Amino acid sequence: MGDGIDTSKSTSPKGENAGGEKLPRTKRGLATRAKILDAARVEFGQVGFGETSIVAITQRAKVALGTFYTYFDSKEEVFRALVADMSQRVADAVAPAIADVEDGIDRERAALEAFLRFARTQAEVYRIIDEAEFVDPEGFEQHYRGTAARIGARLDESEEMTPATSDLDSEVRAWAVMGMNVFLGLRFSVWGDEDPAKVAAAANRLMAEGLRRD
């Protein structure tokens, strides 16, 4: 959450990624896998990992139980794939919003607004990523480290911001912005319905002006 992460994976000659997940080779297979992931997103998001069953996922996806096992070997495996998929969805939602924004601080405003809009329609991402800390700790860490790296790269290349004085300073800035984005999304997209543009503008003023009174 917070911005996004590139979750592309290399595949083996057998069509499996490093984790053993069976990746489809055809458009039809990709579409079926996407249906399963969409169904899993809703089930995990609504009732949590422990209460979700493979049968419930296949019923929601309207696919046979055997079809599930064509792509995934277990509930844990589809959950891991879903964490990566949700991370990529965040990245895909943010990227177009910042593509043509050159000003560094305004770019963060645009990124946050896009994330807030995404979180409003994909609120399940919060429960899924939170549960990943225990179900898929590697994916959980990768999500946040990748997100912070993306934010840090944007901040470091911005000509409008004070340059970071050290690698530690750069990383602290990135994690601070990411933490702000995550909790703003929780408060104003999952728990509230305030205008994302206004929320992002308020956060943008904080970034530009800080907390100190003149």
Q: What pLDDT sits at residue 177?
A: 95
Q: Name the phi and psi angles at 16, rounded to 5.
A: -115, 150
Identify which of 169, 177, 105 has the alpha carbon closest to the alpha carbon of residue 148: 177
- What the block records as the tokens of 77 is 């495996």
Q: Confirm if 15 and 23 have CB atoms less than 8 A apart.
A: yes
Query: If pLDDT is split at 50, 70 and 90, which confidence band does 21 have?
Result: low
Q: What pLDDT sits at residue 169?
A: 92
Between CA 60 and CA 55 the distance in angstroms is 9
Residue environment code for 145-169, b if the CB has 16+ CB neighbours within 10 A, otherwise e: ebbbbbbbebbeebeebeebeeeee
Residues of the chain above pLDDT 90, percent = 72
Q: What pLDDT sits at residue 214?
A: 62
Q: Helix (H, G, I), strand (E, B), or coil: what is residue 151?
A: helix
Average pLDDT, the chain: 88
Q: Looking at the predicted structure, is the pLDDT value of residue 9 above 50?
A: no
Q: What pLDDT sits at residue 25?
A: 80
* Higher per-residue confidence, 40 vs 163: 40
Q: What pLDDT sits at residue 5?
A: 33
Region 105-128: mean pLDDT is 94
pTM value is 0.83
Between CA 33 and CA 15 the distance in angstroms is 14
Q: Looking at the predicted structure, is the pLDDT value of residue 8 above 90?
A: no
Residue environment code for 3-34, b if the CB has 16+ CB neighbours within 10 A, otherwise e: bbbebeeeeeeeeeeeeebbbeeeeeeeebbe
Query: If pLDDT is split at 50, 70 and 90, which confidence band does 212 have?
Result: confident
* Distance set, CA 12 to CA 6, 25, 74, 83 (Å): 19, 12, 20, 21
* Higher per-residue confidence, 17 vs 41: 41
Q: Looking at the predicted structure, is the pLDDT value of residue 14 above 60?
A: no
Q: Looking at the predicted structure, is the pLDDT value of residue 6 above 50?
A: no
> In degrees to the nearest 10, what's the CA dihedral of 78, 82, 88, 93?
140
